[in-house]
Every structure is written in structure tokens, then in C-alpha cells.
Amino acid sequence: MRRDGWLFPACQALHFIGMSLLFGAIGLVDLRVLGFFKSIPIPAVLKLIPIAIAGFALNLSTGVAFLSSNPYQYWPSPMFKLKMAVIVWAGVNALYFTFAEHRKLAHVGADFEPDFQSRVLAGTSIVFWLIVILAGRLLPTFEGSTSFLDF
């Protein structure tokens, strides 16, 4: 991957496609749970979750490829640590939503509205994924630095 000059941008392009899949799907789910676009029944919007998972899997694999191509460049970077921490946090958030809320929501009628707890989860989810995009975009800026104060 380091040697072939075209492979790296190809993986980056895939990473951006995965990002669009993940953010497009999870964004709509979150917005719907938050109470926007009420003409979409809750069970219907939840069917988008596998698209989000597919996008995440694509980005996990290309992400691991970036890391293995140059681990020393990424590992010490504060932005890399921030991105990973927020992904883990967003992941826990998503898992909690899936196991605690999704199971309830999947079997409800078309006119069901989510409770306050679900809305909080949806709100944090959309904010977390936005932070992940920003932190990822800022990775090259903090390349070679070990602190946010020094780059």
C-alpha cells in the first residue's frame, strides 16, 4: 500500500463512500427518532440500519489498512486517539440503541413515537458521527504531532 501510489487514494475513496453510507443511513434514523420526517414509520426507517453497518464495516476494513500501512504515523497522533475514542463511544451508543431500544421499536405500530431516552441516544449518535468525520478529516493536519497544542 505504501509502494503503490494509486492504492492509497483508492482506499480513501472507499473510506469516503463508507462514510456516506454510514452517515446517510444513521443520520436519517437519528433524525426520525428525534421526531423529524414523521411520515416515515419507525420500523421502516430502522431497516436502514444494515446499510449503516455495511458502511461501518467498509470503513473499519479500509481504516485498518491505513493503520497497517503506516502505524507510527497514526498511533501517536492525538487526533487519531480522539477519533478512535469517539467511534468506540458512538459504537457503544449504537449497540445500546440496538439491544435496548431497537427491539422495542421494531415491533411497534406505524404510528409509534419514541420515548425521551431514545431521542437522547439519537441526538448523541448524530453528534458523535459528525465529530468522527471532522476528526478523520483533521488526521493529516496533526500528522507527526503528539499533542493538540503542538502541530
Partner 1 sequence: MEFLKWLEHTGIGEWIRTDSFGFPLILCAHSIGLAGVVGIVYMLSFRVLGYSKGIPIAVFERIFYIAWAAFILNAVSGVLLFISNATHLIVNWTFLLKLILIAAGGISLWALWSALMGGPERTTPQGMVTRRGKALAVLCLVFWTGAIVSGRYIAFTMAEAKEKELMDSTSVSTKAPDGAKSGAPR
Binding site for partner 1 (CB under 8 A): 5-6, 8-10, 12-13, 16-17, 19-21, 23-25, 27-28, 37, 39-41, 43-45, 47-48, 51, 110, 130, 133-134, 136-138, 140-141, 151
User: Minimum distance between the CB of residue 133 and partner 1, rounded to whole angstroms?
Assistant: 6
DSSP 92: H
Please list, in sequence order, all residues whose beta carbon lies within 8 angstroms of the beta carbon of residue 35, skipping any fewer than 6 positions away: 113, 114, 119
Residues 35 and 109: their CA atoms lie apart, in Å, by 16
Residues 128 and 141: their CA atoms lie apart, in Å, by 20
DSSP 37: -
Question: Which residue, 37 or 75, has its beta carbon nearer to partner 1?
Answer: 37
In terms of phi and psi (left: phi > 0; alpha: psi -120 to 50; beta: otherwise), the region of 21 is alpha
Question: Which residue, 4 or 116, has its beta carbon nearer to partner 1?
Answer: 4
User: Minimum distance between the CB of residue 37 and partner 1, rounded to whole angstroms?
Assistant: 5
Neighbours of 87 (CB within 10 A): 20
Question: Which residue, 5 or 72, has its beta carbon nearer to partner 1?
Answer: 5
User: Minimum distance between the CB of residue 80 and partner 1, rounded to whole angstroms?
Assistant: 15
Question: Which residue, 26 or 121, has its beta carbon nearer to partner 1?
Answer: 26
User: Minimum distance between the CB of residue 4 and partner 1, rounded to whole angstroms?
Assistant: 12
